[in-house]
Structure 1
Amino acid sequence: MRSFILVADTGSFTQAAKLVFRTQAAVSLQIKRLEAELGYDLFIREGRKATLTPKGEILYGYARKILDLYDEAVASTVQPELSGVVRIGAPDDYAAQHLPEALKRFASSHPMVQVEVLCDDTHNLNPMLTDGSLDLLIKAEGKSSDNSIPLELVWIMSEYFTPSNHDVLPLAMYHQSCCYCHHALQALEGNSQKNKVVYRSPSLAGVTAAVKAGIAIAPVTKDTQVEGCRHALPMDGLPAIAPVHLTLHYPPGRCSKVVSSFAEFISSEMGLENLKG
């Protein structure tokens, strides 16, 4: 039911799969089994877009009620005594795309826990974990590890931007130590493409503002969508960017019960097997 609702809300099996941390094939199989059980189609599939059928619209209303009732039941029976505050830092692009649904589910089972999210780049969040300003940190790193998940990067540009018209590619970047930027510059260097950083911003909104204005292109996560912009196509001739890797960090020996519980929850949501201190 949750996958069904997310496909309906996003209009995409791929986006819904990312929100529940499953593969697109797994979510498609879930919906096919649900359709087989019901005996009718739930979605009209047109390319990558999925829209509800008339019967799907009816089921959607009931599915919302069912899940709200389930979440209410969980909230009244699962660890209601846990209370406190958890402060977590995360890159703003990841936080915007993936945290809202996860936080909603956590709040349903732990209504007495207050979760505070600080969105910033990893460069600024690192010292806050060390000095105790944060309890947990979702961190983007350049290399994979046993306790990381890959995050695919792509080039984003104004829909009217043509890379081949530029002898020197104008780039919009985060801070210099950002692994997104490092991987993007490595890709261009390997492709012998001249480039120049013409715009820097510490936030995704700042970077994409420059992209939308048509003054630069930028590396972003694949699920980043901006009105008036597009991802690079093969015909653009831009090199592929190596993925970054997300890990969940916490200060060793400084985890309270409430922080540990939230860490286990968010680690599971991210598809991580264990935490990284």
Structure 2
Amino acid sequence: MAALPVNLDMDVLRTFVTGIDLGSFAKAATRLGRSPSAISLQLRKLEDQVGQPLLRRNGRGLALTEPGEMLLGYARRLLDLNDAAVSAVAGPALSGWVRLGLPQDFTETGLPAVLVRFAQAHPAVRVEAHVERDAVLRAEVEAGRLDLALVWDAAPAAGEGTLVARLPMVWIGPWGNAGLAAQRPLPLALFGPRCLFRHAATEALDAAGIPWRIAFSSPGLTGLWAAVAAGLGVTLRTPHGLPPSLRPLDPDEAGLPPLTSLRLRLVRGTSGTDPAVERFAELLGETLADATRLTAPLP
């Protein structure tokens, strides 16, 4: 008699994927409302089901084995299909529009994953994305032309939107050009005036008594990355979505002033109670919180 096929448990797969995405199974336990011991039992069950070790020790943490890496891809697809099936069958289908505004930092590293998952679960909802600076996005939300907007805040007003993540600002330079940050005046590659990152860079340099000059100005992040990679100047952003040709600079080694952190917030317009908008906001917040890994603790 042929052996019966093994049926993988969706709850166990969700624990596995969540732990990997968060970089910690302790965080996964908090996210999923389970105890650490229950999480450990689930992972052992999954390894027993597939007959392979999925995790290995890597210093103080855990890393995926080769079978674990293979299973992770299948697990994501199974969970997406499961969630899409549940959304399609349970209750009325969502429809309408979601008008989203976001900074350039997340157009390639956060938005695509959200759009794929949302479209699979809610194909009748149309999503319209606008990429702008923070000041423009806030004005569009207040005017009712955007339902949701991701905005950076150096000193956010109390209660403004939902806190998604907090990321450090870092000086960024190219690999293989250690002398660039030592030049005086310091060459800078930045966005134009009224940019939060430009203001933070020049204010920090002025406070430290370091002379600077604008060597390159660009309205787009792609142009900015290209200029820094070419050695035209250093820039200031968060490390999220940093291209492989660039690296964060150690302020002490580079002779540059230390920097503070920025908060990423999701603000809502007047249509924030619309079911499609609410579901998209929930999915966007979860995805970006996982992607950024909350590199500094939230208050």
Same fold (TM over 0.5): yes
**Which one-letter code corresponds to 2:239 in the other structure?**
K
Structure 2 match to 1:113: 125
With normalisation by structure 2, the TM-score equals: 0.71
What are the equivalent positions in structure 2 for 1:1-277 lying under 5 Å apart?
A: 1=13, 4-5=16-17, 16-17=21-22, 26=27, 35-37=43-45, 38=47, 41-43=53-55, 52-60=64-72, 62-144=74-156, 145-146=158-159, 147-148=162-163, 149-162=165-178, 163=180, 165-233=182-250, 234-252=252-270, 256-267=274-285
Unaligned ranges ≥5, structure 2: 1-12, 30-35, 290-299
Structure 1 match to 2:7: none
* CA–CA separation in structure 2 for the residues paired with 1:24 and 1:161: 38
* CA–CA separation in structure 2 for the residues paired with 1:23 and 1:154: 24
* CA–CA separation in structure 1 for the residues paired with 2:144 and 2:42: 46
Secondary structure of 2:110's counterpart equals helix
Q: Cα offset for 1:36?
A: 3.8
Secondary structure of 1:88's counterpart equals strand
* CA–CA separation in structure 2 for the residues paired with 1:24 and 1:100: 25
Q: Cα offset for 1:253?
A: 6.4
- 8 A contact 1:78–1:109 mirrored in 2: no
Secondary structure of 1:96's counterpart equals coil
> What is the Cα-based RMSD across aligned positions, in Å?
3.5
- 8 A contact 1:174–1:203 mirrored in 2: yes
With normalisation by structure 1, the TM-score equals: 0.76
**Which one-letter code corresponds to 1:173 in the other structure?**
L
Aligned length: 260
- 8 A contact 1:75–1:108 mirrored in 2: no
**Which one-letter code corresponds to 2:121 in the other structure?**
S
**Which one-letter code corresponds to 1:192 in the other structure?**
G
Higher mean displacement: 52-61 or 186-195:
52-61
**Which one-letter code corresponds to 1:83 in the other structure?**
S
* CA–CA separation in structure 2 for the residues paired with 1:241 and 1:94: 21
